[in-house]
Amino acid sequence: MKRLNTLIKAIFLVTVTLLLFSHYCNAQFVNNGSIITVTSGELLYSDASFINTANGTFVNNGIVITNSSLNNNAGSFLSGNGIYKMQTNFTNNGNFNAGNSTLEFIGSGNSSLKNKSGNIYYLFVNKNENTYINMLDDEQVLKSVVFMKDKNWIYLNTHTLTLGANCTVPDYSNKRFFVTNDSGALIKKDIGTTAFTFPVGFNSSTFNPVYIIENGTPGDYSVRCLQNALLNGATGDAISANGIKSSWFINKTVLAGSNATINARWKNTDELPGFDYTHCMVVRYNGNKWDFNSNLTGIADGNKFHNISRNNNSSFGYFTVVSSTPSFNIINGDELFANTLKLKVYPTIVQNNLNIDVPSDKSIKTMNINILDATGKIIWQKQNADFQPQHITLPMLAAGMYTVYIEYADKKFIQKILVNQ
């Protein structure tokens, strides 16, 4: 009887396997504890979700497509070298042996990725435009991350995405990249003398990649792009002039023997008032200040996107790009430099009108007046205005903090104002 039951079970499993060849399920597919195999060249399609549960074993060497989510529940086993295509989410709380398999996110709507096992071989992003993958835990991709369409992103949130030593990201661009919107970071293992580009941005509308070459001891690097460059690296007011909007936190697991080249890239629209791309450098916050040195500045390459390198890096942390020392960004209503002639902007709490008083100086003919919002975007400007008292009628602005930035002669002036509608 025992042998008969074993034989019946074996026949049942083979039958299930054969029935799955090019099989279409118009409802949810559930493997409730069985052993199921999809062989190479065969297809399993589910019009709803796919669930592997109750200690089930599912071996995929073909193609599995689900019009919803794919779930591998606790205690269950997922393995093989096939392709998994999910319309929505991939959630693995069980055992996933990635083998040489591919996870491909397809279709409309945002997706989430949660993989308890932590390893993925191929990760393909093939979503409709303006959608993204939301990472819900730390992951490692061994072979390749491929963005197959524009306006697709991977949001790291608070998690790390580690790219293995041989992993590539072949098709990134300013419309397909990794978003480091929180404390999460993109990690690349074993960077050496072959340059690796970290295609990152703080959100889907920014793109500030960094490439790194390690000329010394190879090692694992992590990069996180931040929304602003802050006066004290991790804290303080955002630098609002003579630099760029973004910064990066770059780290290496083992510092010994480091001799890295860091190349930073930004859009010309990221450049803050007063920034000069022909006289700039990559700076690092050394714990006390940004280490700007005018003797080390150079001309950034590129047109729509500018980039510039910094060599011989053995220490890491916060980096940004500036064209003069950012110490002036302590914004308290005074002039940026001690030798700046006195100007006065009032009132500092405004609704529609703003006044600018200037000293009498016949040698100064004109000035440029800019009003910036909290993101550094210029929302009103008057170029080559006469250097004389000005009464400005503001456009209808949303309530909040703004910055008045004035350039005249070789001087610069910043004043915070509060719009209170």
Indicate the pTM of the whole model. Answer: 0.76
Q: What is the pLDDT of residue 7?
A: 34
Task: Inform me whether the pLDDT recorded for 17 exceeds 80.
Answer: no
- The residue-averaged pLDDT of 74-95 equals 98
Rounded CA gap, 343 and 388, in Å?
11
Q: Please name the residues in contact with 294: beta carbons below 8 A apart, sequence gap of 6 or more.
A: 279, 324
Other C-beta atoms closer than 10 Å to the C-beta of 237 total: 14
378 confidence band (pLDDT: 50, 70, 90): confident
Task: Inform me whether the pLDDT recorded for 94 exceeds 70.
Answer: yes
* pLDDT one-digit tens code per residue, 147-187: 999 999 999 999 999 999 999 999 999 999 999 999 999 99
395 confidence band (pLDDT: 50, 70, 90): confident
Rounded CA gap, 314 and 252, in Å?
9
Q: Please name the residues in contact with 54: beta carbons below 8 A apart, sequence gap of 6 or more.
A: 32, 33, 73, 75, 76
Q: What is the pLDDT of residue 75?
A: 97
Structural class in CATH, domain 331-419: mainly beta
Task: Inform me whether the pLDDT recorded for 22 exceeds 80.
Answer: no
Which own/partner contact pairs does 78-86 have at CB distance under 8 Å and 24+ positions apart? Answer: 78/52, 80/37, 80/38, 82/38, 82/40, 84/60, 86/111
Q: What is the pLDDT of residue 332?
A: 37
Task: Inform me whether the pLDDT recorded for 335 exceeds 70.
Answer: no
357 confidence band (pLDDT: 50, 70, 90): very high
Rounded CA gap, 385 and 365, in Å?
8
23 confidence band (pLDDT: 50, 70, 90): low
Report the share of the chain in percent with pLDDT over 90: 69
Closest CA to 207 of 162, 234, 172: 172
DSSP state for residue 69 in the 8-state scheme: -
Task: Inform me whether the pLDDT recorded for 20 exceeds 70.
Answer: no
Task: Inform me whether the pLDDT recorded for 338 exceeds 90.
Answer: no
More confidently predicted of 60 and 398: 60
19 confidence band (pLDDT: 50, 70, 90): very low
- The residue-averaged pLDDT of 4-20 equals 39
* pLDDT one-digit tens code per residue, 282-333: 999 999 889 999 899 999 999 889 999 999 999 999 999 999 877 443 333 3
Rounded CA gap, 373 and 345, in Å?
16
Distance of CA 144 to the CA centre of its chain: 18
Q: Please name the residues in contact with 232: beta carbons below 8 A apart, sequence gap of 6 or more.
A: 285
DSSP state for residue 87 in the 8-state scheme: S
- The residue-averaged pLDDT of 107-125 equals 96
240 confidence band (pLDDT: 50, 70, 90): confident
User: Chain-wide mean pLDDT for the chain?
Assistant: 89
Q: What is the pLDDT of residue 40?
A: 96
Half-sphere exposure of 194 (CA within 13 A, CB side): 8
Q: What is the pLDDT of residue 310?
A: 98
